[in-house]
């Protein structure tokens, strides 16, 4: 189910900043008192690791340090202080199937004992590819270790077969650490480097054209330059809050891509939340390529891209076997036996159509509860839903594009809400206000969030 109507009405910034700072301080004190073991673990970790974390953005949690995980199973994890959390972050989709689902663990354990990587194919890959082909309606699949790599590779193929250089992306998109995608629109409508693009390797205006989401005229103008090899899009934006497509937008992009010979790529890494075949199948769309990653191997590194027969034929006609190992598409561990065993079991035994029905039904309740609380306290925020994924944003109506969504961002407000949640045994996705349901989530899990959310909203607006 997709919730809420689109409009471009402006955000209302939470006004009482003193109260917000006061409320946040209370939560920080509560967090510090409850997490002595995480604090110790963090202090030790600061020795050998920058910011005390194995990857930089793990430092971007509210409070003085992240919580350190001891164990996890299903919808929950326990930290090193013995506190149990309902996990709505789920590794930012890496664990959308729930932590360590039994069927995936069994297949992974079996393969671990039978050989991990060979640079030779295993039968699991065939089953995984056939499953994806059936679900997404694209006949040919390749596997990588991450969604980022899948995006990089399909972009290369698109450039190679079209002989064009540029990639079209949406303003405020995120597709992993793909250089071409770190681009924004400036106020004059020019494509410029995204703020804080670390060590930008080139001027993105040379490789990229940015357009607003839901703007077919802008897409057509970009395609009409004749320079665009591929449009790399999320069919609904999910990394700047949820931005849903207006009726006809995705179909219109398909028509334009065909008209101008542009390879249309749906990055469904997150929008897979709409069902086994993502938005592509659910909305009967027909991109030239689809990208997946994160959760398809239950968190064991795996990405994938699927291609239409036509695109596959064009690639095969332009890439020669003799040079295939040094062409810029690949990865020694890509398609390894362990990943493929994980993907096969996860797709066929965990991420089933029935599982999606249950996940979405729970998310309907999550979304309705959040909306009910916003209405009760007259909070000028909204909540959007995309299958088993929901997100609230600090503006009264659903955003129409990435800029509108970005303008509603409020870092301090988010920090308070996320820390308030952590202190009540709930983990939300960092960087925004997103919640995911796994097949293991229960009504009790959702209601725990509802309780925290009402308490937090009442404190802010009551
Ligand atoms: C839509 C989308 N595509 C690709 C990626 C990259 O995934 P990974 O970091 O696992 O390569 C992300 C990561 O958040 C994403 O949101």
Residue 80 has which token pair? 């090193």
Measured in Å, residue 180 CA sits from the centre of ligand 1 at: 14
Domain boundaries of the chain, sorted by first residue: 17-97+353-461, 102-350
How far apart, in whole angstroms, are the C-alpha atoms of residue 221 and residue 218? 5
Exposure letters 63-90 (e unless 16+ CB within 10 A, then b): bebbbbbbebebbbbebbbebebbbbbb
Q: How many beta carbons lie within 10 A of that of residue 332, not counting itself?
A: 9
Contact 269, 93 (CB under 8 A): yes
How far apart, in whole angstroms, are the C-alpha atoms of residue 212 and residue 218? 7
Nearest atom in ligand 1 to the alpha carbon of residue 149 is: 11
Q: Residue 185 contacts by C-beta under 8 Å, 6 or more apart in sequence? A: 171, 191, 192, 210, 211, 212, 403
Using DSSP, state whether 242 is helix, strand or coil. coil
CATH of domain 17-97+353-461: 3.90.1150.10
Within 146-239, strands assigned E span: 166-170, 183-185, 191-193, 208-211, 228-233
Using DSSP, state whether 293 is helix, strand or coil. coil
Q: Residue 174 contacts by C-beta under 8 Å, 6 or more apart in sequence? A: 181, 239, 240
Annotate 54-77 with DSSP letters as a single string.
SSGGGG-SSSSSPPPEEEEEBTEE
Looking at residue 12, what is its pLDDT?
74
Contact 327, 90 (CB under 8 A): no
Helix (H) or strand (E) holding 337: helix 337-345
Contact 169, 207 (CB under 8 A): no
Q: How many beta carbons lie within 10 A of that of residue 319, not counting itself?
A: 15
Helix (H) or strand (E) holding 44: helix 36-45
Protein residues with CB under 6 Å of any ligand 1 atom: 146-148, 151, 174-176, 234, 239, 267, 269-270, 293-294
Percent of the chain scoring above 70 in pLDDT: 98
Nearest atom in ligand 1 to the alpha carbon of residue 234 is: 1
The dihedral formed by the CA atoms of 142, 236, 252 and 405, expressed in degrees to the nearest 10: -140
Measured in Å, residue 293 CA sits from the centre of ligand 1 at: 7
Of all protein residues, whose CA lies closest to atom 4 belonging to ligand 1? 175
CATH architecture of 102-350: 3-Layer(aba) Sandwich (3.40)
Of all protein residues, whose CA lies closest to atom 13 belonging to ligand 1? 176
Helix (H) or strand (E) holding 446: helix 443-461
Place of tokens 């045994």: 425
- DSSP for residue 94: T
Measured in Å, residue 21 CA sits from the centre of ligand 1 at: 32
How far apart, in whole angstroms, are the C-alpha atoms of residue 137 and residue 148? 22
Measured in Å, residue 80 CA sits from the centre of ligand 1 at: 28
Low-confidence ranges of the chain (pLDDT < 70): 1-11
């Amino acid at each position: 189910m997709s919730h809420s109507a689109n409009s471009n009405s402006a955000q209302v910034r939470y006004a009482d900043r003193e109260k917000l700072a006061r409320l946040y301080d209370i939560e920080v004190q509560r967090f510090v008192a409850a997490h002595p073991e995480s604090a110790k673990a963090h202090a030790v970790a600061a020795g050998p690791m920058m910011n005390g974390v194995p990857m930089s953005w793990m430092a971007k949690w509210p409070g003085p340090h992240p919580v350190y995980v001891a164990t996890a199973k299903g919808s929950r994890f326990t930290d090193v202080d013995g506190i149990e959390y309902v996990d709505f972050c789920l590794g930012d989709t890496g664990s959308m199937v729930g932590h360590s689902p039994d069927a995936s663990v069994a297949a992974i354990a079996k393969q671990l004992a039978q050989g991990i990587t060979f640079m030779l194919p295993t039968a699991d890959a065939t089953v995984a590819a056939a499953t994806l082909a059936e679900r997404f309606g694209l006949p040919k699949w390749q596997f990588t270790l991450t969604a980022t790599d899948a995006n990089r590779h399909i972009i290369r193929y698109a450039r190679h077969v079209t002989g064009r250089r540029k990639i079209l992306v949406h303003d405020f998109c995120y597709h992993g650490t793909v250089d071409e995608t770190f681009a924004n629109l400036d106020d004059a409508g020019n494509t410029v480097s995204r703020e804080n693009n670390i060590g930008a390797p080139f001027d993105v205006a040379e490789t990229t054209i940015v357009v607003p989401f839901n703007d077919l005229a802008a897409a057509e103008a970009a395609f009409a330059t004749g320079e665009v090899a591929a449009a790399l899009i999320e069919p609904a934006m999910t990394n700047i809050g949820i931005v849903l497509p207006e009726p006809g937008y995705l179909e219109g992009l398909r028509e334009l891509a065909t008209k101008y010979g542009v390879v249309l790529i749906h990055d469904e890494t997150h929008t897979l939340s709409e069902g086994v075949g993502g938005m592509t199948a659910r909305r009967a769309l027909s991109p030239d390529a689809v990208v997946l990653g994160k959760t398809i191997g239950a968190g064991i590194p795996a990405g994938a891209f699927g291609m239409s027969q036509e695109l596959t034929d064009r690639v095969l006609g332009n890439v020669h076997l003799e040079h295939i190992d040094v062409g810029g598409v690949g990865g020694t561990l890509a398609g390894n036996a362990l990943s493929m065993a994980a993907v096969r079991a996860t797709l066929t035994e965990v991420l089933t159509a029935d599982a999606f029905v249950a996940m979405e039904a729970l998310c309907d309740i999550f979304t309705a509860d959040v909306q009910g609380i916003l209405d009760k306290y007259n909070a000028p925020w909204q909540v959007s839903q995309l299958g088993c994924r929901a997100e609230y944003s600090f503006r009264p109506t659903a955003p129409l594009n990435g800029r509108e969504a970005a303008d509603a961002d409020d870092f301090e407000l988010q920090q308070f809400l996320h820390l308030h949640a952590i202190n009540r045994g709930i983990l939300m996705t960092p960087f925004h206000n997103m919640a995911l349901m796994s097949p293991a989530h229960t009504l009790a899990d959702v209601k725990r969030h509802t309780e925290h959310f009402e308490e937090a909203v009442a404190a802010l607006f009551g």
